[in-house]
Homo-oligomer: A and B are copies of this chain.
């Protein structure tokens, strides 16, 4: 445990300096070398799974002794199947195109200069996350593929597991002739080193906190390094007057029930009053059978008396559970206003057969993902075609929505001349 500020500063400086040097080398590594390192990693994960499972057993034991609950224990637990899935994830990253070095929009200026923008890595990325150890491998692989050097700070519950996983990444990098320091872990569970790292702007290029709202607020308040934020997903489905009722019921059911604990699950259903009498009895019967607790306004409860009365807090709640807030709206404008007021800018969907309503919804709702006639659950890097994702941003700078390999890069201008000078 690091308790002295001086020690935390020294460790942060050491991590940042090593990461910077490694990032410099990794930035000009070929795709072939990066892919080779990741291929070695995928092999090693499976071949040396006992090493991982032994470390994981230590973490599980400590967590059980500390009285950790069943769901959290399950998130922490690795099995041969889960390790195989991690390795398969790495192979999928290998198969993705490398964004680094791509030059976009190269064109000649009137004075003959050839100007384009080349994708380059961001540099050093500090990733702070909780619990699930697969994030270590997912995030590490995406960073290496895109030429970035991550400094990983996982949760203390997964300390031993993450330690072995980072060791394996470093071994694979070294075996491929790349700098091992391209992936580093903060080798303490103390928050002090993280707090130092996120204030080293100029050395650390980005911090991605993945976890609860408290962690993200702490990082935003204390960082001088840019932060990718993902506060919460208060996602809406609005069933418009003209909606196909069967389609609306299928989408609203899927958006709530298919995986309620994730950020792109629906939390509030808005129903146009004209369609409510046809939609609600059928849909709510299905919800009830699936164990969904329904919280509605007065008009919803008139149609479905079992519903609990929704309070003001329900409209901005991220339940991440089988609970749904439902409101009847008189018109399209009220639905959009509701989404703007209570939404989190994550994912919002409309179900409609009206052309103008679909166009207006796309234009007027500014969330990171705006959906017509499909489930909110599609806001995901894989589903939207990015190949993979390192997280979802709900702040508008740099990336908005899922971040894939391309969002882990920036673009520099490349100018090729033949002696041009400014007049």
Contact = CB atoms under 8 A, between A and B. Distances in A.
A235 B11 CA distance: 32
A202 to B, nearest CB: 8
Nearest to A220: B224
Nearest to A229: B201
Interface in A340-382: 340, 358, 362-364, 366-375, 377-379
A62 interface: no
Given A113-B374, A226-B395, A374-B113, A412 B401 contact: yes
B412 A368 contact: yes
A373 B415 CA distance: 9
Interface string A377-403: 111000111000000000111101110
Contacts of A247: 419
Given A384-B415, A412-B366, A421-B375, A396 B221 contact: no
B28 A372 contact: no
Contact of A24 (B340, B377, B416): B340
A224 B378 CA distance: 30
Contacts of A383: 109, 113, 422
Q: How many copies does the complex hold?
A: 2
Contacts of A358: 416
Interface residues of A, number: 71
A311 B122 CA distance: 32
A206 interface: yes
A101 B366 CA distance: 11
Nearest to A421: B254
A402 B117 CA distance: 11
Interface string A30-62: 000000000000000000000000000000000
Interface in A216-258: 220-221, 224, 226-227, 229, 244, 247, 250-251, 253-255, 258
A303 interface: no
A220 B247 CA distance: 48
Interface of A: 24, 27-28, 101, 107, 109, 113, 115, 118, 120, 122-123, 201, 205-206, 220-221, 224, 226-227, 229, 244, 247, 250-251, 253-255, 258-259, 340, 358, 362-364, 366-375, 377-379, 383-385, 395-398, 400-402, 410-422
Given A374-B420, A400-B412, 4 more contacts: A206-B397, A254-B422, A362-B414, A372-B415
21 contacts: A107-B385, A109-B385, A115-B384, A115-B385, A123-B366, A220-B224, A226-B226, A226-B227, A253-B421, A258-B422, A368-B413, A370-B415, A372-B416, A373-B417, A373-B419, A374-B420, A384-B415, A396-B410, A397-B398, A397-B410, A400-B411
